[in-house]
Structure 1
Amino acid sequence: MDLHFEQSDYFLNDTDDTSAYVLSVEDWIAFVGLWLASAFTITGNTLVILSFIRDRKLRGKPSNYFLLGLAVMDFITGMVSLPLDNMWRLRDEWPYGRVVCIFWTFLDYTVTVESTYIISLISIDRYFLVSKGLHYRDFQTRRRVLLQLFGTLLFSAVFHFVAIVVFEGSEHVDFDEECELNGLGALAYVVLAVILEFIIPMLIVCGFNLMLYIRIRSRLSGSIETPQNASCENKRLNTLAKRNPENLNHVGLSTSEESSTLETFDLEASAKPSDIDIRSDKQSNVQPVKKSESPCCQVRPKRSNKQKSSKKAATTLTILIVVFIICWLPYNIVAIIRNLSPELVSVRLWDLVNYLLWLNSAVNPVLYATTNVQFRKNFGELLEKLFKPLTWCA
C-alpha cells in the first residue's frame, strides 16, 4: 500500500549544476502501467456506482449494497492511492510532507482493508442466499446490510487511526524522503494487522465459498429436502422452477440475486410465496405439475445439467478464492519478512506486492458486479451511451 524508492533506481543527469532524476525504462513502464491501472479501476467501479444510482431494481435488493460499498472503496483506491504513489515515483521523493502522508496512508489502508471485509461479507451473504431460501429476504434487510458495511468500515478506520497515534513518535519513516506507516516498523503491529486484515478474511472467503459449493452440489443432487414446515405449494413452485429455470422471471421469481450467486442455483431465495402468480404458468411455457404427481414431489435435473452446473460453481468459486489469495498473500508475507530481515526485501519486490494488492481493486468489478445480470445490463447501456458520440463522429 505504501512504497518507497531508492536513488539507485534512477539515472542521474547533471546539467548546469542542477541534479535531476530521470526514470529508468523499468520505472517508466511501471509509471505508465500504474496510470492505466488507475484508469481501469476508476472506470470499472464508476460503472458499478452509476448502475446502482440509475437502476431502481438494483437499489431494491439489499445485497447489492455490498457491491456498491465495494465499488466505492475501490474507486477511492483508483482516485487517491495509485495517483499519489505515481507522483512519488516521478519525483523520487515524497513531495507532499508529513501531514499529507499520514492522511494518505490512513485513507489508503482503511479503504483497502475495508474492501477485503466487504468481500468477506459478500461470501457470507451468498451462502445465506442459498441456504436460507424463502427466509433470506426477511434475514438480509437493507438496514442489516448497511450496519455491516458501516461496522466494518468503522473498525478498519479506528484500527489504523490507533496505529498512527500509537506509533507517531517512533519515527521509522523519514517523511522528507518517503511515505509509509510508522507501525510497519513494529513486528507486533504487523502480525496483528496480518491476522485482522488477511488471515480472518481469507478464512471467511475460503470457508463460506466452500460451504456454498457443497450446498449447491447438495441442492443439485436433490439431497436437500424442503423444511417440514414449508407448504406443499412452495414445494410445487420449486418443482416448476427446476423444470424450467429460464422462465423463473415469468412466474415472479427475480433471478438477479441468483445471478450474483453463479447465476443458477437458488430456487427459493428471491421471492416469498405471495410474490408468485401461479396463473402465469401457461404464459411462461412452464408445464404444470401433472395431477398424478404429488405436489410435494421434487423433479431432479438431468445428470448432464447437474454436472455442468456443479463444474461452473467450482470454477467460479475457485477463481474468486485464487484471485483474493494472489492479491493479498504476497503482501502480507513480504510485510513480515521486511520487518524481520529488511535486507531480504528489495525495493522492487516491495513495489510488486503493493501493486498486486492494489490490482484487487481493479478486478473486483469484474469478479463480483459482472456476475449480476442486472449490473451487466446497465454496464452495456452506459457504455453504449458513452461510445455513441464516437460513432457519430466516425
Structure 2
Amino acid sequence: MWNDTDLLRNDSFSCASPSVEGYRYFGVLLGSAVTIVGTIGNILTVLAFVTDANLRTRFNVLIVNLAFADLLYCTILQPVSVDSYLHLHWRGGATWCRMFGLLLFLSNSVSIITLCLIAMSRYLVVAHRTSSCARLLLSQRGVAALLISSWVLGLASFAPLWPVYVFAPQVCTCSFHRTKGRPYTTVLLFLYFFLGLGFVGLFYFLIYRKVSVAAKAFLKYRPSRRSSKRKQAEAEGTTDDSGISAGASTTQSCEISSDGAVAEQHGKQAQEGQTTTQNATQHASSETTSKASPVVIQNTPAAANSGEDNEFKRVTRMCFTVFLCFVGCFAPFLLLNVADKKNRAPQVIHMICANLTWLNSCINPLLYAAMNRQFNQAYKDLLSKAAHPLRWFGRTHWFTSR
C-alpha cells in the first residue's frame, strides 16, 4: 500500500497530461525508428571506417567520433525515452535519471565539439595547410589528442551538474533543473550551443570566402602547357582527405622547387657539357607529345589538383550539411526554452521540439550515404555481406520445401 511519501515521489516522475495522451504514441513510433535507424547507421559508419582502407583517414576519424556520440544516444538513451513516452512515467529511479541526464549532455557536447573540430580542420586545409600548427593538429597524434579531449571536456563540463539532474515532465525525460543549476547551466548552454555552433558557422563562412577567392584567381591565371609539363615531373607526395600531404608541403612550394630543380639541372648540363643529342631528341619528343596529346594534359598535377579540390568541396559540403541539420534539430527546442521560461506553452509543444532533437542522432549516416560515394559504397558492401547468410538460408529453405 502506497503512503503519501511514495505517492509524492511517484508523481515527481510522471509526465501524464491529457494533451499528450494521444501524441505519446507518435513519440514512441518516432523514438523506435530513431533507435533502429541510428543504431544500424552509426554502426555501419564505424564498420565502414574499419573495413575500408580508403576511408581510414585522419579526417574520417572525426566522423567516427561523431558516430560514437550518436551511438551513445541511439543505443542506450533513446530506448529509455521511448519507455518513458509509452508509460508517461520515468521508471528508472533517481540515480538512473541523473546518469541519463549526464550521458545525454555528454553526447550532445561531444557532437558539438566534434563539429567544431571538423570545421576547423576543413579551414586549416584551406588557409593554413603548410603551418606547423596545422600539421601538428592534423597529425595522427594530434587528432587522437583532440578526440580524447572532446570526451574529457564534455564530461568535465556537465559532471558538476550531477546533483541537479531531475525528471523534466515537459519533455518526459531527465535533464538538469532549470533554476537550481544557474548560472552555471546558462554559461554552458551559451558556450556550447551558441558560441560553439557560432564558431562552426564562422569557419564554414571563412572556407566559402577562401574558396571563392581562389576560384576567381584561378580564372585569371591559367598555367601554360609547358609549366604543366614541368609540374608533372615533380610532386610525388600523397595527400589524404585531411589535406596534409605526406611529401611536399604545398602545391605552390612544389612548383617552385620543381622549377628550381629544372633550372639547376639545365645549368649543370650546360656547364659540364653533358647534353647529348639523344637527350635533346627525347626532350623534343616529350614537348611534342605534351602539345599534341590531351591525355598527357589530363594527367598533369593541375588536373589532379582540380580533382582533389572537387573532392574537398564535396566533403566540405557534406560536413556543412551535417552542421545545418544539427542546428535545425536543436534550434526549435532551444528557442522554446528561452522564450518560455515560465513553462506556459502546452506540454505537447515542448515534446514536439524535444522530439526534433532525436533526429540528429540518426540522420548523419543517411547524409554520408547520400553525399559521399565512398561511404555509400562501403555501406552497400557491408549490407550485402550481412544479407548473404539470409539469402543462403532462403535458397536452402526453398530447395528443402520443394
Do both share a fold (TM > 0.5)? yes
1:210 to 205, 208, 211: 205
For residue 7 of structure 1, what is the aligned residue in structure 2? 17
Q: Cα deviation per residue 1:222-276 (whole Å; 9 max; x = unaligned)?
A: 36999xxxxx9999259x99xxxxxxxxx7755x617xxxxxxxxx644423999
For residue 327 of structure 1, what is the aligned residue in structure 2? 329
For residue 146 of structure 1, what is the aligned residue in structure 2? 144
Instruction: Letter of the 2:52 partner, please give it.
Output: D
For residue 199 of structure 1, what is the aligned residue in structure 2? 194
For residue 80 of structure 1, what is the aligned residue in structure 2? 76
2:154 to 131, 153, 156: 156
Instruction: Letter of the 1:155 partner, please give it.
Output: L
Moved more, 187-196 or 73-82: 187-196
SS at match of 1:273: coil
1:66–1:118: 8 Å Cα contact kept in structure 2? yes
For residue 181 of structure 1, what is the aligned residue in structure 2? 175
Alpha carbons of 1:287 and 1:271: their partners in 2 closer, same or farther (altered >3 Å)? farther
Q: CA deviation at 1:216?
A: 1.7
1:191–1:336: 8 Å Cα contact kept in structure 2? no
Q: For residues 48-59 of structure 1, what are the structure 2 equivalents within 5 Å?
A: 48-59=45-56
Cα distance in structure 2, aligned partners of 1:65 and 1:312: 17
1:120–1:204: 8 Å Cα contact kept in structure 2? yes
For residue 67 of structure 2, what is the aligned residue in structure 1? 71
Q: Cα deviation per residue 1:131-170 (whole Å; 9 max; x = unaligned)?
A: 33466655511211121122222121112110124x37xx
Residue segments in structure 2 that go unaligned for 5+ positions in a row: 1-12, 222-226, 252-257, 259-285, 396-402
Q: Of Structure 1 and Structure 2, which has the larger fraction of its residues in helix?
A: 2
Cα distance in structure 2, aligned partners of 1:224 and 1:272: 28
For residue 358 of structure 2, what is the aligned residue in structure 1? 358
Cα distance in structure 1, aligned partners of 2:208 and 2:297: 30
Q: CA deviation at 1:29?
A: 2.3
For residue 28 of structure 1, what is the aligned residue in structure 2? 25
Q: Cα deviation per residue 1:201-225 (whole Å; 9 max; x = unaligned)?
A: 2212111111111122222223699
Alpha carbons of 1:65 and 1:100: their partners in 2 closer, same or farther (altered >3 Å)? same
Cα distance in structure 2, aligned partners of 1:274 and 1:182: 48
Q: CA deviation at 1:80?
A: 1.5
Q: Cα deviation per residue 1:168-188 (whole Å; 9 max; x = unaligned)?
A: 7xxx7589x965334323452
Cα distance in structure 2, aligned partners of 1:49 and 1:27: 32
Q: CA deviation at 1:97?
A: 0.5
Q: Cα deviation per residue 1:106-132 (whole Å; 9 max; x = unaligned)?
A: 111111221111111111111112333
Residue segments in structure 1 that go unaligned for 5+ positions in a row: 11-23, 227-231, 242-250, 259-267
Instruction: Letter of the 1:202 partner, please give it.
Output: L
Cα distance in structure 1, aligned partners of 2:217 and 2:230: 13
Q: For residues 35-54 of structure 1, what are the structure 2 equivalents within 5 Å?
A: 35-54=32-51
Instruction: Letter of the 1:29 partner, please give it.
Output: F
* Percentage of pairs with the same residue: 19
For residue 264 of structure 1, what is the aligned residue in structure 2? none
Cα distance in structure 2, aligned partners of 1:390 and 1:207: 48
Aligned residues: 333
Superposition TM-score, scaled by structure 2 size: 0.69
Q: For residues 1-394 of structure 1, what are the structure 2 equivalents within 5 Å?
A: 5-9=15-19, 24-59=21-56, 61-133=57-129, 139-165=137-163, 167=164, 173=167, 179-186=173-180, 187-222=182-217, 236=231, 253=238, 257=241, 269-273=244-248, 287=296, 319-338=321-340, 340-343=341-344, 345-367=345-367, 371-392=371-392, 393=394
SS at match of 1:74: helix
1:234–1:273: 8 Å Cα contact kept in structure 2? no
Alpha carbons of 1:68 and 1:370: their partners in 2 closer, same or farther (altered >3 Å)? farther
SS at match of 1:181: strand
CA RMSD of aligned residues (A): 4.4
Q: CA deviation at 1:365?
A: 2.4
Cα distance in structure 2, aligned partners of 1:310 and 1:55: 19
Cα distance in structure 2, aligned partners of 1:101 and 1:237: 62
Superposition TM-score, scaled by structure 1 size: 0.70
Alpha carbons of 1:235 and 1:200: their partners in 2 closer, same or farther (altered >3 Å)? farther
1:194–1:332: 8 Å Cα contact kept in structure 2? no
1:190–1:335: 8 Å Cα contact kept in structure 2? no
Q: CA deviation at 1:337?
A: 3.3
Q: CA deviation at 1:387?
A: 2.6
1:126–1:212: 8 Å Cα contact kept in structure 2? yes
SS at match of 1:327: helix
Q: Cα deviation per residue 1:40-86 (whole Å; 9 max; x = unaligned)?
A: 11111001111122234433x22221111101110111011210011
Instruction: Letter of the 2:143 partner, please give it.
Output: V
